[in-house]
Amino acid sequence: MRPVIADHILFDECISVFRPESMPITDLDSYSGKGFLKGYILLDFPLDKTWDFKYFKVEPTINAELPGVYSAFISPMSIPKWFDDHRNTQLFSIAFSAICSFATGRSIKSPRRDYSSFTSHPLEELILHFPIATSGAEAHDFLQPGKDTDREYFETINDILDVLLHLKYEDYQMAMQSIRLIHLAHLNFREDFGLSYYLLLSGIESVTQKAIKRKSKKHPLENEWVKIAKDNPLIEELLSAYKNERGNNKYLGERVTKFILKYFPPKYWDDYKGKSEFMEKHWNERYPSDLTESELEQMLKDAYKHRSGFTHEGKNPPHFTPFGYNRYFDEVTKYVLKEDGSIEREEKMILPNFKFMSFIARNSILNYLREKMEQIST
């Protein structure tokens, strides 16, 4: 670890601080009880009750009103006993904020400065890091969590912590790297929707490459090409180039789709609450259970294509609004202007809402990690 962080974060350091490689997972009980050093996480909602985890705790938010429609929600937190350094506590709280964001689907962060030596809360600094709009159009995603939501958040975070602390270390590192991508997707949601969508799908992709093996697809006419190539050097050279190119294809779009369908099948998708939690189903709205298997599969493939469009061309996903008009997904119809001046209608695209896609990402990744943890005990 660098002796001076200097307001720059290398997340690999956060990963190693949150769970040191030397810490034995067979003797975690020796670390039970709350630590003494203090860090902070910055929420986008007020927290009324303490999150009392086994090894550390998060206190209710200090709510500070800022000018205009903005407020800050600052939660002090203790650092667990295995933290063996009396400086740079922010590395632990930044890793934990990523886990909280992954678990809740919300924008949660931590300041980049170490405040452990302060005898009182430095509110005049902390309020500057993460102002949240609490009214007006800007507060579209602001949440006043009730008891059920608060308990659900705590239980989900607690479950993820248990998994992360019991995985093999290389699997823990892989999990945290994926969690960080999804964390950054949530933090950039308002800044750039295309970037946040790209990061979200990349978080799924990073785990997919470990979970779903690459399987090369052979062209149905390839055997015929081999026969022709025997007597034609030009065809043989072309066939060789084709095979090399096929070998470089990682089939990531198809593997991401398989990963989601395997580890979080569509039969569970209707459990998503979303922003329409207290609204009736629209007359023209479709839920996952209303779609065919092929429609759901194509939706996931298209989502990955939109991620690739941003990666290679800077093209934004074709969503009309970052939040979506419906609970699960919107449907758009693309029209193409032909050379003769006529307009041709193409097929409808089913676009999963960002928050719904985040829900799919969390559950598919978490189910895969649970499987990896169970393999340790068998």
- 303 Rama sector, left if φ>0, alpha if ψ -120 to 50, beta otherwise: alpha
H-type helices in 105-168, by residue range?
A: 123-126, 147-166
Instruction: Tell me the percentage of the chain whose pLDDT exceeds 70.
Output: 83
Whether the pLDDT of residue 159 is over 80: the answer is yes
Q: Domain coordinates of the chain in residue numbers?
A: 11-166
User: How far is it, in rounded angstroms, from Cα 40 to Cα 119?
Assistant: 14
Q: What per-residue confidence (pLDDT) applies to 31?
A: 61
Note the pLDDT of residue 278.
Answer: 46
pLDDT of residue 216: 59
Euclidean distance between CA atoms 16 and 173, whole angstroms: 8
Give the C-alpha distances (Å, rounded to integers) separating 210 from 5, 216, 285, 303: 31, 16, 36, 20
**Per-residue pLDDT reduced to its tens digit, 12-69:** 999 999 998 887 766 666 666 655 678 999 999 999 999 999 889 999 999 999 999 9
The pLDDT of 297-323, averaged and rounded, is: 89
Where helices occur in 249-353 by DSSP H, the ranges are: 252-263, 293-313
Residue recorded with tokens 């009980």: 29
Give 214-225 as a DSSP string: ------TTHHHH
pLDDT value of residue 313: 87
- Structure confidence at residue 232 (pLDDT): 75
Q: What pLDDT, on a 0 to 100 scale, did the predictor assign at position 121?
A: 86
More confident residue, 81 or 315: 315
**Using CA atoms, how far apart are residues 198 and 4, in angstroms rounded to an integer?**
32
Greatest mean pLDDT among 74-88, 111-125, 330-344 = 111-125
pLDDT tens digits, 60-108: 999 999 999 999 999 999 888 787 666 788 999 999 999 999 999 999 9
Which range (64-73, 183-192, 315-324) has the least confidence? 315-324
Q: Report the chain's mean pLDDT, rounded to a whole number.
A: 85
Q: Which pLDDT value is given to residue 293?
A: 93
Least trusted range by pLDDT, from 25-29, 92-96, 256-260, 338-342: 25-29
Chain centre distance of CA 177: 10
> How far is Cα 100 from Cα 157, in angstroms, rounded to an integer?
6
pLDDT at 164: 96
Q: What is the per-residue pLDDT for 26?
A: 63
> Across 129-138, 258-267, 277-286, 342-351, which has the greatest mean pLDDT?
258-267
Residue 2 has a pLDDT of: 78
Range of lowest pLDDT (62-71, 221-230, 323-332): 221-230
Least confident of 24-28, 120-124, 175-179: 24-28
* pLDDT greater than 70 at residue 218: no
Among candidate residues 181, 105, 186, 190, the one with its CA nearest the CA of residue 145:
105
Q: Does residue 360 surpass a pLDDT of 90?
A: yes
**Residue 147 pLDDT > 70:** no
- pLDDT band for position 372 (cuts 50, 70, 90): very high
CB 352 within 8 Å of CB 266: no
**Higher pLDDT, residue 370 or 324:** 370
237 CB contacts (<8 Å, ≥6 apart)?
A: none
